[in-house]
Structure 1
Amino acid sequence: MSLSAGDQLKYWGIAALVFAIVLWFLGHVLLPFVLGMAIAYFLDPLADRLQRWGLSRGAATAVITAGAVLIFILAALLVIPSLVSQTVDLIDLVPVLVNRLQEFLAQHFPNALDEGSPARNALASLGQAIKERGPALFEKLLGSVGSVINVIVLLVIVPVVAVYMLLDWDRMTARIDKLLPRDHAPVVRRLARDIDSSLAGFIRGMGTVCLILGTYYAVALMALGLQFGLVVGFVAGILTFIPYLGAMIGGALAIGLALFQFWGDWGWVAAVTGVFLLGQFAEGNFLTPKLVGNSVGLHPVWLILALSVFGALFGFVGMLVAVPLMAAIGVIARFAIDQYLKSSLYGGVSGSATNLVHGAQERDQP
């Protein structure tokens, strides 16, 4: 016998509460597995395509793994050392940038930097604080990440989990499908397809957009001779995942560094600005519509709210699960609204919603 709506709501509420408690207490333990699952989910379409080309699932997983190892080795040898070095140098350069800003303000706005003025004290303390605490903050960030994940997890556990998940992805989804309640299986499958479409449009699409834009910004800025161009491109590429934030922070950082490095040579400053304008034009008109499309259903405000709330409550693992949960909630909410519009609660006991709408239209006609 099917459960009543009240009983179903109670059990799903208990399941959600258990999930939140597990995430709260075991988030740091689950992190490598969540990362591995996310990587496998991202790469599953590639494995499916290789299977359609004639490879077995095991062979497709082996090809993807070999390619990932090669990319990791190249990144470890060519990109990561330069990225870390430029980040440390940029932190050391901040006091110089603050002093340059002080000189500029003293020249053009002398009253703003009178002895003992709030602006002068704030700039002096800002430069000294970043100089002293910047490296410590960087080391603390690495240390906190290392305490949660550590080097062994990053280099061993996450890739191993991703490989096994990718190898068994189709079998796992088939097994889960067999465990669905038979009465509700068609509805659950339809909701799962909608959630997968939403996630595929956002995670895979935005991940590809972040990679393309980050590479473009880094290569273009380094080609222009901008110092720390690799760091700026890396930051702008990652933050593109959050709508508008990557462009604002990356653009402000790049243009600020360009003003410091090319002051007086406005052509180079304009070139750096043009790099970001071109990147944003390509993202808004080509990359995002083509790779992400309109299937996501996640408003930027809800996305930023979800990342902030889940990040504050559950840390980094909370940020990882925020987008899938919001996508699922969005799909379920749209399904609930659709059911409500078809119900007698909306249409009334005397007729369906459709009949009421048609009747109202007929009454409005002269």
Structure 2
Amino acid sequence: MTKFEKQCLSVGIFGILATTLYWTFSALIPFIAAFVWAYLWRPILLKAQNYNIASGITAFSITFLTYFVLAATCIVLIPSVKHLLVFLFQNLSLGKEEILNTISLILKKIHISPQGSYWIERTLEEGLSITTIKLKEIMFYVLQSGLNAAKIVTIIAMAPFLSFYIMKDWASFVNTLISWIPIPYRKSILKGLEQVHLTFSAYLRGQALVCISLCGYYAITLNFFGLQFGWLIGVLIGFFSFIPYLSVFIGICVSFLIALLTSTAVSLKILTVIFVIGYGLEALFLTPFLIGKRIGLHPTIVLLAIFSLGHAMGIIGILLSAPLTAIVVACIRLVKEYYLKSIFYRGTCG
């Protein structure tokens, strides 16, 4: 077989694998989630092995803890989220005029021109109408779409179970994959995988700590200052903070809507301060310190990835945008390293 035929065969095999992955992606979601969850706990497994604790025992303990936390979370969060959606839907339908009057008074205090004030009020009115319609659609979807709910429950239930076997047999699984790599290319491929591993692990574990930190900050501050559903909004903002910008934006909108719809003690100024401090805490301290400069994703690249993958894959693409972008950046860095050492770049034959 000639070199050209080998290259064609490699491209054909890669194309078949990519096509198969694309068409079976929805069925592979539980396995992907299980692998990511097992990968996240890998350092704990390694530390346990240093104390001569069997990987099966550690994997079982992690799996049991996962199911316990999932059950507790569902029992607490699902009814609270349902109450929040019902509250917003009912009060937005009745309190739309009150919100518009409050905004009008605020615009007059800050001396916005009549033309600008009219445009802001009309835009806000349209936004509230669209929000009410979307809330109704979400509530109908949640209550009526049993099939999609069953799929989500299946993923949540299957992922920890599958991750148990991945964690228990991680070493043999990895060694088997390495043995399949052609020997002439093994060193280069392993070097590339190591670069991806460093970038992805830095993102994944760092982002987990960022999510936990933001959960605590927003839940405590919003609840302390008397915002209704404050703890729930704070937990959801922190939990979904791995979707850059989107979780904070939605959290701001929901918090301000609830503050305008209720006679709560928290003022719009206090909410503004809370979110400004929270965003500064995330952008200037948590993300650089916990995730580090290893990833170095520019906000423009992150937003491009969110919109592109969201358009191509829907909500799954939005959820996977940041980690996939981190992996792509790691691969680009590796290609750049090889390119800078290549004969083509240096213009030499030695």
Check whether the contact 1:197–1:296 (CA below 8 A) recurs between aligned residues: no
Give the superposition deviation at 1:82: 1.6
Distance 1:284 1:229 in 2: 22
Matched with 1:341 is 340
User: How high is the TM-score relative to the length of structure 1?
Assistant: 0.79
Matched with 1:139 is 140
Call closer, same or farther: CA 1:209–1:15 in 2, change over 3 Å. farther
Deviation string 1:92-124 (CA, Å, 9 cap, x unpaired) is 3223453223323666599779xxx99887766
Q: Indicate whether 1:104 and 2:105 are aligned.
A: no
Distance 2:334 2:126 in 1: 54
Call closer, same or farther: CA 1:119–1:330 in 2, change over 3 Å. closer
Secondary structure, aligned partner of 1:183 = helix
User: How high is the TM-score relative to the length of structure 2?
Assistant: 0.82
Matched with 1:161 is 162
Cα RMSD, aligned residues only: 3.5
Matched with 2:37 is 39
Matched with 1:217 is 218
Distance 1:25 1:142 in 2: 29
Give me the identity figure in percent: 24
Which residues in structure 2 correspond to 1:187-198 (within 5 Å)?
A: 187-198=188-199
Call closer, same or farther: CA 1:319–1:345 in 2, change over 3 Å. same
Matched with 2:79 is 81
Q: Which amino acid aligns with 1:278?
A: I
Distance 1:19 1:304 in 2: 28
Deviation string 1:289-336 (CA, Å, 9 cap, x unpaired) is 232111124333333323332333234444565555433432332222
The runs of 5 or more residues in structure 1 that have no matched partner are 353-366
Deviates more, 1:168-177 or 1:207-216: 207-216
Q: Which amino acid aligns with 1:147?
A: N
Call closer, same or farther: CA 1:301–1:142 in 2, change over 3 Å. farther
Matched with 2:89 is 91
Call closer, same or farther: CA 1:96–1:230 in 2, change over 3 Å. farther
Check whether the contact 2:67–2:160 (CA below 8 A) recurs between aligned residues: no
Check whether the contact 1:205–1:291 (CA below 8 A) recurs between aligned residues: yes
Distance 2:191 2:144 in 1: 43
Give the superposition deviation at 1:59: 0.9
Distance 2:52 2:15 in 1: 44
Distance 2:122 2:49 in 1: 64
Deviation string 1:34-55 (CA, Å, 9 cap, x unpaired) is 2222222222222222222331
Q: Indicate whether 1:30 and 2:54 are aligned.
A: no
Matched with 1:48 is 46
Q: Looking at CA atoms only, which structure, 1 or 2, has the larger radius of gyration?
A: 1
Deviation string 1:202-225 (CA, Å, 9 cap, x unpaired) is 122112212321232123212221
Matched with 1:355 is none
The runs of 5 or more residues in structure 2 that have no matched partner are none
Check whether the contact 1:199–1:327 (CA below 8 A) recurs between aligned residues: yes
Call closer, same or farther: CA 1:144–1:344 in 2, change over 3 Å. farther
Distance 2:255 2:46 in 1: 40
Secondary structure, aligned partner of 1:184 = helix
Which residues in structure 2 correspond to 1:101-250 (within 5 Å)?
A: 101-104=99-102, 108=108, 127=128, 130-140=131-141, 146-147=147-148, 150=151, 152-250=153-251
Give the superposition deviation at 1:185: 0.9
Q: Which amino acid aligns with 1:164?
A: Y
Deviation string 1:195-250 (CA, Å, 9 cap, x unpaired) is 01111111221122123212321232122210132342244224422334433442
